[in-house]
Amino acid sequence: MNASPNPELDFEIRASGAAVPADQRAQMLVAPGFGSVFTDHMATIRWSEEDGWHDARIEPYGPITLDPAAAVFHYGQEIFEGLKAYTQADGSVATFRPHANAARFNRSAARLAMPELPESLFVRAIELLVAQDRAWVPTADGHSLYLRPFMIATQIGLGVSKPSSQHLFTLIASPVSGYFGGKVRPVTVWLSEDYTRAAPGGTGEAKCGGNYAAAFAGQQQALDHGCDQVVWLDAAERRYVEEMGGMNIFFVYGSGADARIMTPATSGSLLHGMTRDSLLKLGPDLGVPAYESKISVADWRAGCASGEISEVFACGTAAVITPIGAVRSAEGEWVIGDGSAGLVTNMLRDELVGIQYGRKPDRYGWMHPLR
Ligand code: COI
pLDDT tens for residues 253-285? 999 999 999 999 988 899 999 999 999 999 999
The continuous run of DSSP H or E covering 73 comes out as helix 71-75
Q: How far is the CA of 50 from the centre of ligand 1 (A)?
A: 33
What would the pLDDT profile of 171-187 be if each residue is shown by its tens digit? 999 999 988 776 778 99
Distance 247 CA to ligand 1 centre (A): 7
Integer Cα distance of 208 and 181 in angstroms = 25
Using CA positions, which residue lies closest to atom 8 of ligand 1?
246
Q: Is the CB of 337 under 6 A from ligand 1?
A: no
* H-helix or E-strand spanning residue 314: strand 309-316
Sign of the C-alpha dihedral computed for residues 282, 212, 203 and 233 taken in this order: positive
Give the pLDDT score at 151.
Answer: 98
Testing ligand 1's pocket by substitution, the residue of 317, 320, 322, 356 carrying the most ligand atoms inside 8 A of its CB is 317
pLDDT at 188: 97
Separation of CA 29 and ligand 1 centre (Å): 20
Mean pLDDT of the chain: 95
Q: What is the pLDDT of residue 246?
A: 86
CA distance 132 to 370: 11
- Are the CB atoms for 246 and 209 separated by under 8 Å? no
User: Does the pLDDT of residue 250 top 90, yes or no?
Assistant: yes
Q: At 3, is the pLDDT very low, low, confident or very high (cuts 50, 70, 90)?
A: very low
Q: What angle do CA 245, 251, 253 make, to 5 degrees?
A: 170
What H or E segment, with its residue span, contains residue 44?
strand 41-48
Query: Which ligand 1 atom sits nearest the alpha carbon of residue 80?
Result: 5
Please name which of 86, 33, 103, 146 lies closest in space to residue 274, comparing C-alpha atoms.
Answer: 103
Residue 12 CB neighbour total at 10 angstroms: 11
Supply the pLDDT for residue 4.
45
Task: Name the residue with the closest Cα to ligand 1, atom 9.
Answer: 318
The pTM for the full model equals 0.95
Q: Ligand 1 within 6 A of 318 CB?
A: yes
Least confident of 24-33, 176-185, 347-356: 176-185
Is the CB of 246 within 6 Å of ligand 1? yes
pLDDT band (50, 70, 90) for residue 245: confident
Q: Up-side HSE of residue 359: CA atoms within 13 Å toward CB? A: 11
Angle (CA) 70-103-10 rounded to 5° is 70
Alpha carbon 140 to its chain's center: 21
- Exposed e or buried b per residue across 238-249, where buried means at least 16 C-beta atoms within 10 angstroms of its C-beta: bebbbbbbbbbb
User: What is the pLDDT averaged over residues 83-112?
Assistant: 98
Q: Nearest CA to 61 among 25, 88, 97?
A: 25
| The ligand 1 atom nearest the CA atom of 273 | 2
Distance 245 CA to ligand 1 centre (A): 9
Q: How far is the CA of 107 from the centre of ligand 1 (A)?
A: 17
pLDDT band at 328 (very low <50, low <70, confident <90, very high): very high
pLDDT at 2 over 70: no
The pLDDT of 2-17, averaged and rounded, is: 77
Q: Return the best residue to mutate from 81, 212, 247 for the ligand 1 pocket (most ligand atoms within 8 A of CB).
A: 247
CB distance 149 to ligand 1 below 6 Å: no
DSSP notation for 271-332: ---HHHHHHHHHHHHTT--EEEE--BHHHHHHHHHHTSEEEEEEEETTTEEEEEEEEEETTE
Closest CA to 42 of 163, 119, 160, 126: 126
Mean pLDDT of 154-182: 94
> What ligand 1 atom has the least distance to the C-alpha of 212?
8
